[in-house]
Structure 1
Amino acid sequence: MNTANNNNLIENELSKCIIGIAMDVHTALGPGLLEGAYKECLYYKINKAGFYVEKEKAIPIVFEEVRLDCGYRLDLLVENKLVLELKCVEYLNEVHLAQTLTYLKLGNFKLGLLINFNVKRLKDGIQRVVNGL
């Protein structure tokens, strides 16, 4: 896709495109790999599709007007608006959802996708996480 046109995609449209790419990665690799393998492949495919994507983007905490790097890192950030939090776990739970929502709030993002690649069908491992959308 043309990056100039990608900036105009709203979060919901963008998430549909990225879910399709994630499904392609999962179909090719299947479950059972480490999170880092899926992250690298997804980063590659999203970039190849023409989207602007950042990997391991630092998200600071602002405390008493001071920006502090406390080690929070987004797995992937697409087009500066869609947070991707990747997991390879038996089950997603409330802690994973809370972590993703925290990232959305810290970065003032509206939408995140929590994606668990350790499932037979990826559609069963994707959860949308919303922050004021």
Structure 2
Amino acid sequence: MDSVEDVYQECLEIEFDLQGIPFVAQPPLGLSYKGKPLRQSYKPDFICYDEIIIEIKAAKNLDDTHRAQLHNYLRATNKRLGILINFGHHPKIQIERIIH
């Protein structure tokens, strides 16, 4: 069964398309350890403009585990900017900008 985040993912893909925002959805990011490539990979929700990692959540509140996940994505890609978007917060969405 799809999660609520999957629904928001699909909606954002449509919205990015409508707004003309260049994006790649869930690109696999290769990882390495001590110079050796790993079989595991990261998959951020989006990379927009080839520079900004977008990570979506559907949680009551954003917490440090969400922030740490985005920091890991930024380190793995050598990107500087990430945006956390939480659609589960009431009454409005939460948006946090993370700079690496």
TM-score higher than 0.5 here? yes
Aligned counterpart in structure 2 of residue 52 of structure 1, from 22, 47, 55 = 22
Deviation at residue 43 of structure 1 after TM alignment: 1.2
- Summarize the alignment of residues 1-133 of structure 1 with structure 2, pairs less than 5 Å apart: 34-119=4-89, 120-122=91-93, 125-131=94-100
RMSD value, Cα: 1.4
Deviation at residue 50 of structure 1 after TM alignment: 1.4
Spell out structure 1 runs of 4+ moving beyond 6 A.
none
Distance in 1 of aligned mates of 2:53 and 2:39: 18
Unaligned runs of 5+ in 2: none
Contact 1:113 1:127 in 2 (8 A): yes
Q: Larger strand proportion, structure 1 or 2? A: 2
The count of aligned residue pairs is: 97
Deviation at residue 128 of structure 1 after TM alignment: 0.7
Distance in 2 of aligned mates of 1:75 and 1:109: 14
TM (norm. structure 1) is: 0.68
> What amino acid is aligned across from residue 86 of structure 2 in structure 1?
N
TM (norm. structure 2) is: 0.88
> What amino acid is aligned across from residue 54 of structure 2 in structure 1?
L
Deviation at residue 70 of structure 1 after TM alignment: 1.2
> What amino acid is aligned across from residue 5 of structure 2 in structure 1?
E
Unaligned runs of 5+ in 1: 1-32
Identity %: 27
Q: Larger helix proportion, structure 1 or 2? A: 1
Contact 1:112 1:129 in 2 (8 A): yes
